[in-house]
Chains A and B, each alone.
Chain A
Amino acid sequence: MITNYNVTGMTCGHCVAAVTEEVSAIPGVSEVKVELAGPMQVESTAEVDFAAVVAAVKEAGDYEVALA
């Protein structure tokens, strides 16, 4: 299944890479697409706990994530 999110606070390609890396590490997530402007598409085998996504994005840096 695919879930869409919106990430704010990213300022460069490194931020995108960091968010991608951390969200990809969530168990069950198979693919993550992040754009600098904010949209993030997460493909997973089962529904991903939103709290886990928030934690992963926080781990990546000082960013905020919301369900799109």
Chain B
Amino acid sequence: MSTGGQGESTAALRTQVGNQVIELDVQGMTCASCAARIEKKLNKLDGVQASVNYATEKAHVVVPAQLGADDLILTVQAAGYDAALPTPEAPPRDRAAEIKRRLLVSAVLAIPVIAMAMVPPLQFPGWQWVSLLLATPVVTWAAWPFHRSALVNLRHGASTMDTLISLGTSAAYLWSVIALVFGSAGEIGMTHQWSFSLERDHHLSAIYFEAAVGIITFILLGRYIEARSRQDASSALRALAEVGAKSVTRLRDGVEVTVPIDKLAVGDEFVVRPGEKVATDGEVVSGDSAVDNSVITGEALPVEVRAGSTVVGASVNTTGRLVVRATAVGADTQLAQIARLVELAQTGKSRSQALADKISGVFVPTVITIALVTGIGWLLAGQGATFAVTAAVSVLIISCPCALGLATPTALLAGSLRGSQLGILIRGPEALEEAHRIDTIAMDKTGTITAGQMSLDSVVPTKGGDEAELLAVAATLESASEHPIARAVVAAHNGPLGELTGFANVPGRGVRALVDRRPAAAGNAALMADLGLAVPGELIAAADEAARRGASVLLVALDDRIVGLLTVADRIAPNAAAAVTRLRELGLRTVMVTGDNQAAAEYVAAQVGIDEVRAEVLPSDKFAVVTQLQADGTHHVAMIGDGVNDAAALSQADLGIAMGSGTDAAIAASDLTLMRHDLMLAADAVQLSRRTLNTIRGNLFWAFIYNVAAIPIAASGYLNPMFAGAAMAFSSVFVVTNSLRLRGFRPTSSVNEVASS
């Protein structure tokens, strides 16, 4: 960096020291008034400017040099809350690796325990004591997450799948220990009889270590599969951070200096060269260009800008050099606001309870009741305490289905694999469980229903003119321009170009040149007015009609006469209409959300058969539209989008679906990603998720049914380890087989294709 640059950065550093920005995590706020109160208290400190966000639990504070974070924290604490400096983003905890460790240890120890219990020839003298030794770390250490979660839930009086696992394995383990120590099971030479004979056990002669370790290993396997397939939520925010510019060419006193983006202050002027990202939100001071907002809005058509126009940070400058005065930096930019909305949507999102937990919530109290009734019943029947306790504990042991842990993950895994074959990436298990409840599907227009690229829409020559000739003149003129409209025109012309001389770009209006030495021009009505050319009456109607449906009009003049017009539009994607029809057949209400004007939006909606249109929605309001759709009679809403500005709406939606051609931020914020630009995949995804959820339901049925069927046997005191093992094996096989059937899933679209071919 030059010496001048060093002087600059020292000055910037000084202002930074003089007025530093501190971010705090605030705890204990219970309502919006709390945030207002903390803000007030902080602002009372000399020279402090604070803003506190209740939803994100964060305070953004500008403080003078004499104050530090400690003073702020003390002030917040004095107001009755707590605050802390945000811990630098901790490396994301690798849940999968943590589970993997427990799974490996558990599996290695469980295999011999299960083998010895199920295969009598392996039952060497003293095998039961070796089983105890091997099972202990599994039941205590490997299963610790289940016990901990069960305890936490117990405190809230709730029971989940973890409660069932913890209860079943603890019962099996403790019972076996008691049988070893006090019963006949500890005698050297004890073996399990390989029989299903209904013989009542009065002597504490059987052990159930294999049931305990088997359940734990299987459940951990299921959890591992789940953790592997889950992506952490913060990736959306990271992707958003990637979108913005990292450095900026600041212009001060006519000198251009490249500085990191955070050195730029409001009011600074900066330069944006063609092809560069606009560094931050601002107002154009000088220069003419077209700015491509597609990264932010997904809109294909660049916006013409000149002095006085506003530009958005992270948009891309296309043709001309711009000088921009920054109007917002850092946390105040539109991009930062989108990031905050994404954060807000993600923290405020309450996922529905997992199905397995819901069932367990009812199942656990029922099983405990049955166990108690069994024990008390046998006591009253005069069978003696040992027998009564044996029967009661047997109920607890048999009630925890080993396949329970596999029911959800195997179905999700099979569903996800099938999805990726079809071109649908499924982010996490919640997505599939959520998708079946969807009754409304909102979609962005540009890039979702439309192709997201400008292409030639119509060619209208004046009376007596020739379409091909008109297109040839226009294509020749535009061949020297980089404007997307120009590229669409050139791409549509597949003949030889004329000779082009004296080319001139008229920013914001069009182009002029000599085509085969004849004066020619192509551009908007303003250009023609500048040239003093009147638009023929026959073209005015065509131009109006095109504008109504959102197409851009390009007037073409040759020999000082307007000879026709071309319209260029973002075309409707080939499959869109069929896909919308299918979505509606699946019982979904279809809603189009777009920033376009009402007429253009309705034109597209009518073309593809969309039920409802929400037009003229500001980029930042898509989020609000989704919230509104959800509140409207508590609907479950899926959102399909591709732009950065869709990210918040995608997070807020019950099911976010990103087009794979879309931005990273949109993909990261969504639950499903469609790998091809094909709306039909969205319908496939909804169908697949419904099928997957049905499979999960079926699996849970098979997981529970064998164990439920065995409960009466256990309650009557006839349970032996062989029964327990058989129930475990049967249900696991059924569950896995049932899940694998998902691999054969065919969406209706491909079924139709096969049928018609």
Question: Counting CB contacts under 8 A, is A26 at the interface?
Answer: no
| CB–CB B33/A62 < 8 A | yes
CA distance A62 to B28 in the complex (A): 19
- One of B34-42, B67-75, B223-231, B312-320 at the interface: B34-42
| CB–CB B80/A10 < 8 A | no
Question: Counting CB contacts under 8 A, is A15 at the interface?
Answer: yes
A63 to chain B, nearest CB (A): 8
Which of B28, B31, B40, B81 is close to A15, meaning CB atoms less than 8 Å apart?
B31
B739 to chain A, nearest CB (A): 47
Give the contact-size bracket for chain B: 10 to 19
Question: Counting CB contacts under 8 A, is B87 at the interface?
Answer: no
Question: Counting CB contacts under 8 A, is B2 at the interface?
Answer: no
Which residues of A have CB within 8 Å of B36?
A: 61-62
Question: Counting CB contacts under 8 A, is A54 at the interface?
Answer: no
**Cβ contacts B29-68/A at 8 Å (1 or 0 each):** 1111110110010000000000000000000000000000
CA distance A25 to B30 in the complex (A): 24
Which residues of B have CB within 8 Å of A17?
A: 80
- Across the interface, name the chain B residue whose C-beta is closest to A62: B36
Which residues of A have CB within 8 Å of B40?
A: 59, 61
Which residues of A have CB within 8 Å of B33?
A: 9-12, 14-15, 18, 61-62
Which residues of A have CB within 8 Å of B37?
A: 14-15, 18, 60-61
CA distance A59 to B37 in the complex (A): 9
Which residues of A have CB within 8 Å of B29?
A: 14
CA distance A23 to B54 in the complex (A): 25
A24 to chain B, nearest CB (A): 14
Which residues of A have CB within 8 Å of B80?
A: 14, 17-18
**Cβ contacts A2-42/B at 8 Å (1 or 0 each):** 00000001111111011000000000000000000000000
Which residues of B have CB within 8 Å of A60?
A: 37
Give the contact-size bracket for chain A: 10 to 19
CA distance A9 to B34 in the complex (A): 12
A58 to chain B, nearest CB (A): 10
CA distance A39 to B40 in the complex (A): 24
Which residues of B have CB within 8 Å of A62?
A: 33, 36
Which residues of A have CB within 8 Å of B30?
A: 11-14
A49 to chain B, nearest CB (A): 22
Which residues of A have CB within 8 Å of B34?
A: 12, 14-15
CA distance A12 to B34 in the complex (A): 9
- Across the interface, name the chain B residue whose C-beta is closest to A60: B37
CA distance A9 to B80 in the complex (A): 19
Which residues of B have CB within 8 Å of A10?
A: 33
B40 to chain A, nearest CB (A): 7
CA distance A17 to B36 in the complex (A): 14
Which residues of A have CB within 8 Å of B28?
A: 14
B475 to chain A, nearest CB (A): 63
- Across the interface, name the chain A residue whose C-beta is closest to B78: A21
A12 to chain B, nearest CB (A): 5
CA distance A60 to B30 in the complex (A): 16
- Across the interface, name the chain A residue whose C-beta is closest to B34: A14
Q: Which of B29, B40, B81 has the most CB of A within 10 A?
A: B40
Which residues of A have CB within 8 Å of B79?
A: 18
A56 to chain B, nearest CB (A): 13
B28 to chain A, nearest CB (A): 8
Q: Which chain B residues in 1-49 approach chain A with CB under 8 Å? A: 28-34, 36-37, 40
CA distance A11 to B37 in the complex (A): 12
CA distance A9 to B31 in the complex (A): 12
CA distance A17 to B80 in the complex (A): 8
- Across the interface, name the chain B residue whose C-beta is closest to A10: B33
CA distance A10 to B81 in the complex (A): 17
B51 to chain A, nearest CB (A): 15
Which residues of A have CB within 8 Å of B31?
A: 11-12, 14-15
CA distance A61 to B81 in the complex (A): 15
Which residues of B have CB within 8 Å of A12?
A: 30-31, 33-34
A29 to chain B, nearest CB (A): 19
CA distance A14 to B36 in the complex (A): 11
Which residues of B have CB within 8 Å of A61?
A: 33, 36-37, 40
- Across the interface, name the chain B residue whose C-beta is closest to A59: B40
B444 to chain A, nearest CB (A): 36
- Across the interface, name the chain A residue whose C-beta is closest to B79: A18
- Across the interface, name the chain A residue whose C-beta is closest to B29: A14
A32 to chain B, nearest CB (A): 16
Q: Which chain B residues in 179-231 approach chain A with CB under 8 Å? A: none
B72 to chain A, nearest CB (A): 18
Which residues of B have CB within 8 Å of A13?
A: 30
CA distance A49 to B28 in the complex (A): 33
Q: Which 6 A-B pairs have the closest CB atoms?
A: A11-B31, A12-B30, A12-B31, A14-B34, A61-B37, A61-B33
A and B contact pairs by CB, cutoff 8 A, 10 listed = A10-B33, A11-B30, A12-B33, A14-B33, A17-B80, A18-B33, A18-B80, A61-B37, A61-B40, A62-B36
Which residues does A use to contact B, with CB under 8 Å? 9-15, 17-18, 59-62
Apart from the given pairs A11-B30, A12-B34, A62-B33, 13 other A-B contacts in the complex at a CB distance below 8 Å = A12-B30, A13-B30, A14-B29, A14-B31, A14-B33, A14-B80, A15-B33, A15-B34, A17-B80, A18-B33, A18-B37, A59-B40, A61-B40
